[in-house]
Amino acid sequence: MTDAILALNAGSSSIKFALFKMGPGKTLEPAVRGEMEGIGTEPHFAAHDAAGTEIGQKSWAGNASTDHDALLGWLMDWVRHHLGCDVLAAVGHRVVHGGRDFIAPVRLTPEIIAALDGLTPLAPLHQPHSLAPVRAIMGRQPDLPQVACFDTAFHHTLPAVASRYALPREYEDEGVRRYGFHGLSYEFIAGRLRETAPHLAAGRVVVAHLGNGASLCAMRDGRSLDTTMGFTALDGLVMGTRCGTLDAGVVLYMLQQKGLSAPDVEQVLYKKSGLLGVSGISSDMRTLTASADPHAREAVELFVFRVARQTAALANSLGGLDGFVFTAGIGEHSPAIREAVCERLGWLGVRIDRAANANHADRIATSESRVDVRVIPTDEEAMIARHTRDVLSDAGETGGA
Ligand code: ADP
């Protein structure tokens, strides 16, 4: 009988999950990964084992019985069935916002859930989706330990000059500051760098998490010193459907001149902008890089321009640049975007090896490059599982195998 940890990463229309079994010395062995997609429309579940073999899949036609809670209940039953005699020791969750106070993973209690709920105004589109599975599991299995791992926590080391907005002080006092997100991904990458390139890990590194959501993190010695997302996950780079950095005057223009309501503005900024807004075609980088449409080309060009521009700003925050890391869907899989970004960073001494880049090598810089450039797959679920194990171990709650 082995203990297992379930890592959940819940979004608005999907739940990514991974199941890890605890080995000797509380090592975590990945056993199953999967995703429930299309929640709210046509849900689809797929899971595969550590070797990549499909071990489960199911589709639902959209109907009333397939809301978030019902699908999560189905997923928990599937996990329990899959575990057989093994014991689910805990569930770890990615929680988008930890605010000022939650700077480390925490065991969830009704009081802490209420406190995290209180942070919903800071992430109105994301926080409720983070907390919904926590509540659903607590309702079904109140004794099952659950741990929250925060996307903001890794950035608690931001110096005040990087986290402060130039607004009247009272805003900062009530929590209006730059928090930064994608922290679990950056923490994972910082750990991988320490394992695979300790010298570089100790240096000045910009990590580019380029997925549907996209951001950069400036790290020195594995600590976050600057990042492109701010008070919300709307700031910084061009994303799938989010606008990234925007003159706040544009929001005033939408409200005052165009007469848009606040929810309409929210829709435009979060759901209708970014790659989708500029291309008018798709939020998916694969579709855009394959398209001959000039608007698709312009969207890709803007994406690359902003990554390079913000990298230069972050290199300045670090006082130089020793390494650059690509990660997440676009960063891990698109040689064309990597090449275009690196070309714009040529003035910083970035040189990439085209063949290595095309082959998705771990290290894609040439030997002459002044900046080491790497491609490192991220694993937010592994980070969630590690934190969950550690919180439980600290509380003396995991037996291990
Ligand atoms: P999420 O933020 O939802 O976790 P991912 O990290 O999975 O997103 O990244 C999704 C993005 O990665 C999409 O824009 C997708 O088109 C892009 N992507 C995945 N594979 C490729 C590829 N081979 N070439 C270009 N873009 C890719």
Mean pLDDT of 211-221: 97
Instruction: State in Å, rounded, how far the first CA of the chain is from the last one.
Output: 7
User: How far is ligand 1, taken at its centre, from the CA of residue 129, in Å?
Assistant: 21
Mean pLDDT of 137-155: 95
User: How far is ligand 1, taken at its centre, from the CA of residue 279, in Å?
Assistant: 16
Name the active-site residue from 86, 101, 117, 151.
151
Helix (H) or strand (E) holding 211: none
For the domain covering 3-150, report its CATH number: 3.30.420.40
Q: Tokens 């950035």 label which residue?
A: 155
Give 147's strand partners: 92, 107
Q: Which comes out higher in pLDDT, residue 189 or 26?
A: 189
pLDDT digit string (tens) for 163-182?
999 999 999 998 999 999 99
pLDDT digit string (tens) for 346-378?
999 999 999 999 999 999 999 999 999 999 999
| Residues near ligand 1 (Cβ within 6 A) | 211-213, 240, 284-286, 289, 328-330, 333-334
Give 216's strand partners: 208
Helices (H) and strands (E) in the chain, counts: 16, 13
* 35 phi and psi angles, rounded to 5 deg: -155, 140
Test site for ligand 1: of 125, 188, 334, most ligand atoms within 8 A of the Cβ: 334
Residue 151 appears among annotated catalytic residues:
yes
Lowest mean pLDDT, pick from 81-90, 196-205, 383-392: 81-90
Which residues of 24-86 form beta strands (DSSP E)? 28-37, 44-49, 54-59
Task: Name the average pLDDT for the chain.
Answer: 94
* pLDDT value for 11: 81
Beta strand 54-59 with 323-327: parallel, antiparallel or unpaired?
unpaired
User: How far is ligand 1, taken at its centre, from the CA of residue 330, in Å?
Assistant: 5
Atom of ligand 1 nearest to the CA of 214: 2
User: How far is ligand 1, taken at its centre, from the CA of residue 361, in Å?
Assistant: 18
Taking 50 as the threshold, does the pLDDT of residue 223 lie above it? yes
For the domain covering 198-375, report its CATH number: 3.30.420.40
Which sign, positive or negative, has the C-alpha torsion 248, 260, 13, 392? positive
Share of the chain above pLDDT 70, in %: 98
Query: Using 50, 70 and 90 to split pLDDT, how confident is the model at 40?
Result: confident
Atom of ligand 1 nearest to the CA of 14: 3
Whole-angstrom distance, CA of residue 70 vs CA of residue 152: 29
User: How far is ligand 1, taken at its centre, from the CA of residue 349, in Å?
Assistant: 27
**Residues spanned by CATH 3.30.420.40 within the chain?**
3-150, 198-375
Burial 141-167 (b: 16+ CB within 10 A, else e): eeeebbbbbbbbbbbbbbeeebbeeee
Whole-angstrom distance, CA of residue 305 vs CA of residue 218: 18
User: How far is ligand 1, taken at its centre, from the CA of residue 213, in Å?
Assistant: 9
Atom of ligand 1 nearest to the CA of 289: 25
User: How far is ligand 1, taken at its centre, from the CA of residue 286, in Å?
Assistant: 7
* pLDDT value for 63: 60
Atom of ligand 1 nearest to the CA of 337: 25
* pLDDT value for 66: 72
Atom of ligand 1 nearest to the CA of 275: 14
Compute the C-alpha angle 163/164/165, nearest 5°. 125
* pLDDT value for 400: 44
Residues 6+ apart with CB under 8 A from 372: 197, 200, 322, 323, 324, 363, 365
